[in-house]
Copies of this chain bind each other. A is one copy, B any other.
Amino acid sequence: MPKLGMEPIRKAALVNATIAEIGRTGSLDVTVSQIARRAGMSSALAHHYFGGKEGMFLAAMRHVLTLYGAEVRGALAVARGPEARVQAVVHASFSPANFRREVIGAWLNFYVMAQTMPEAARLLDVYQRRLRSNLRHGLRPLVGPRAATVAEALAALIDGVYLRQVLVRGKADRAGAVETVLGVLAAELGRGART
């Protein structure tokens, strides 16, 4: 029963289903049919809208990156002062939306994609650049010329803490993640961190 104006709805459904399936299986070893079935349509329609599996993967990646970007911008908008800006980035990175098992699994596989799909590599590169840039801006007034170095370290730390959650069974540990990163931040700011 074809309704009109289905394209955006179907595309959105497919993108969500793609993320969900990648998260569920923990790998890129998902079939177009699985994704399409979860999104409530035939695999042929998925091909129709995205031209192929790769297109679906990239769309899913763009979507996750867009959500993350929005979350960061939102957090930065209400941050008062440089230190609050850095903390805002950290909190956004580990926000409930980005810290679901599905999404973590998806991220991991984006890195895998980046090894073979140039467009995926480009997208990840944009993410990393933005992350470092955001951190630098907050850090400059705090640590001056060391801002670039510290931003580099914090960015890597965020990714590392994120990666670590892959192995955690059950709910991922948001509070612990934030604490770890902020602990390093505190040390870099020259004050001793709390236990």
Contact = CB atoms under 8 A, between A and B. Distances in A.
Interface of A: 25-29, 105, 108-109, 111-112, 114-116, 121, 124-125, 128, 145-146, 149-150, 152-153, 155-164, 166-167, 180-181, 183-184, 187-188, 190, 192-193, 195
A109 to B, nearest CB: 7
Given A157-B157, A158-B160, A160-B159, A149 B183 contact: yes
A108 B105 contact: no
User: Chain B CB within 10 Å — which of A28, A125, A166, A187 has the most?
Assistant: A187
B193 A146 contact: yes
B116 A26 contact: yes
A149 B134 CA distance: 26
B156 A160 contact: yes
A53 B108 CA distance: 22
A112 B108 contact: yes
Given A25-B115, A153-B180, A156-B161, 9 more contacts: A26-B112, A26-B116, A111-B167, A112-B112, A114-B166, A149-B180, A156-B160, A156-B164, A159-B160
Nearest to A146: B195
Nearest to A115: B26
Given A28-B27, A112-B26, A180 B160 contact: no
B115 A195 contact: no
A162 B162 CA distance: 13
B188 A116 contact: no
Contact of A121 (B150, B155, B167): B167
B163 A111 contact: yes
